[in-house]
């Protein structure tokens, strides 16, 4: 049994805590928001019920009002506070002060480098990134990011722990913004938004093209496998012709900026790049959750 501490009980933190509690580890969780902490047990229990599992593991997660109490006996600490450099650096300073010196300390930042997050820390050899994906209890991947100062043994310990709780961790060997997954994902989103900006097609068409073509293959066939499957000679011919025409925009999309200026932020406001009449956003969320739960059930079977 490993003693785990999670800082931040939001969308990601409560799911990360769930993964370790489900696997029988000792988990403490802290959040600066009393409400986030008070609802953590019920949110984890609800996730477990949706997965068709007994909700008991939820009650075993220890809730801690003070960060220092959550980390004081921890062997591994996961930080899942706001995506804000100053906040993360402040949380790391407090963890460094109060956690045992041997504890691993991981940030769940989505895109920031481990070097940036730990720049003010003294014990950087035990600090690393663990980039979980939402929802963390249903998506298998965790990117384990090695910072320039991270001890390779810390990376090995983290990879072994994540494998042990059923995750599919990968080792990201260089500390680059966005790691592997978000660089790939946002390369696609940049092109998707550029196609709309340039009037090539409407947003609905972009989504339909992805969902009814290569999106169907992606969970079985990665892009490198796919290049090998069609042949590198064909891939080279396509790239030689096409790559000069792809977006290399360094700024966010014009169309997206226009929506944001009008307060159209997406599903939460009923209008974003696409329109979301009442009920439609919830239908998408439910369909996605059911899809991920079914995939997870298949993996467990």
Query: Under the rule (CB under 6 A), what is the footprint of ligand NAD?
Result: 7-13, 30-33, 36, 67, 80-83, 87, 90-91, 108-110, 132-134
* Nearest CB to ligand NAD, comparing residues 9 and 195: 9
Nearer CB in complex with ligand NAD: 95/195? 95
Residue 272 burial class via C-beta count within 10 angstroms: exposed 0-12, middle 13-18, buried 19 and up = middle
Smallest distance, ligand NAD to C-beta of residue 136, A:
8
Nearer to ligand NAD, 82 or 214 (CB): 82
The answer to whether the CB of 98 falls within 8 A of the CB of 63 is no
Q: What is the C-alpha separation between 212 and 203, in angstroms, rounded?
A: 14
Which CB sits closer to ligand NAD, 39 or 123?
Answer: 39
Whichever of 172 and 195 has its CB closer to ligand NAD, that residue is 172
Query: Both tokens of residue 218?
Result: 């992606």
- Residue 26 burial (10 A CB sphere; 0-12, 13-18, 19+): middle
243 DSSP β-pair partners: none
Query: Greatest CA separation found in the chain?
Result: 59
| Rounded CA separation 262/257 (Å) | 9
Cβ neighbourhood burial of 151 (10 Å; 0-12, 13-18, 19+): middle
Asked if 172 contacts 144 with a C-beta cutoff of 8 angstroms, the reply is yes
- Residue closer to ligand NAD by CB (options 18, 108) is 108
Q: Identify the DSSP state of 274.
A: S
Report the distance separating Cα 38 and Cα 142, nearest Å. Answer: 27
Q: How far is the CB of 243 from ligand NAD (least distance, A)?
A: 29
Least distance to ligand NAD, CB of residue 201, Å: 27
Tokens of 121: 């820390």
Torsion of CA 83, 84, 87, 89, to 10 degrees: 100
Nearer to ligand NAD, 33 or 205 (CB): 33
In the complex, least distance from residue 107 CB atom to ligand NAD, rounded to whole angstroms: 7
CB of 79 to ligand NAD, least distance (A): 8
* CB 129 to ligand NAD: min, Å: 10
Residue in the shown chain whose Cβ atom is closest to ligand NAD: 10
How far is residue 178 CA from its own chain's centroid? 11
**Least Å from the CB of residue 37 to ligand NAD:** 8
């Amino acid at each position: 049994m490993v003693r785990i501490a999670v800082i931040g009980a939001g969308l990601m933190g409560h799911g990360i805590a769930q993964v370790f509690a489900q696997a029988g580890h000792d988990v403490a969780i802290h959040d600066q928001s009393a409400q986030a902490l008070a609802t953590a047990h019920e949110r984890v229990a609800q996730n477990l019920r949706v997965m068709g599992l007994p909700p008991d593991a939820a009650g075993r997660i220890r809730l801690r009002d003070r960060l220092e109490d959550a980390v004081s006996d921890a062997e591994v600490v996961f930080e899942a506070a706001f995506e804000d450099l100053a906040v993360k650096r402040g949380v790391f300073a407090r963890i460094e002060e109060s956690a045992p010196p041997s504890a691993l300390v991981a940030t769940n930042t989505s895109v920031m480098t481990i070097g940036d997050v730990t720049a003010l820390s003294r014990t950087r050899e035990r600090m690393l990134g663990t980039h979980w994906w939402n929802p963390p209890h249903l998506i298998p991947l965790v990117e384990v990011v090695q910072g320039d100062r991270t001890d390779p043994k810390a990376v090995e310990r983290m990879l072994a722990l994540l494998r042990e709780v059923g995750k599919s961790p990968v080792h990201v060997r260089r500390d680059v913004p966005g790691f592997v997954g978000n660089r790939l994902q946002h390369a696609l989103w940049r092109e998707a938004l550029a196609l709309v900006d340039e009037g090539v097609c409407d947003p609905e068409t972009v989504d339909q093209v992805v969902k009814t073509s290569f999106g169907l293959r992606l969970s079985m066939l990665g892009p490198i496998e796919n290049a090998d499957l069609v042949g590198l000679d064909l891939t080279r011919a396509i790239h030689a012709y096409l790559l000069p025409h792809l977006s290399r925009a360094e700024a966010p999309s014009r169309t997206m900026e226009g929506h944001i200026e009008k307060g159209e932020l997406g599903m939460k406001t009923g209008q974003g790049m696409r329109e979301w009449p009442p009920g439609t956003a919830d239908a998408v969320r439910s369909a996605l959750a059911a899809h991920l739960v079914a995939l997870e059930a298949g993996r467990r079977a």
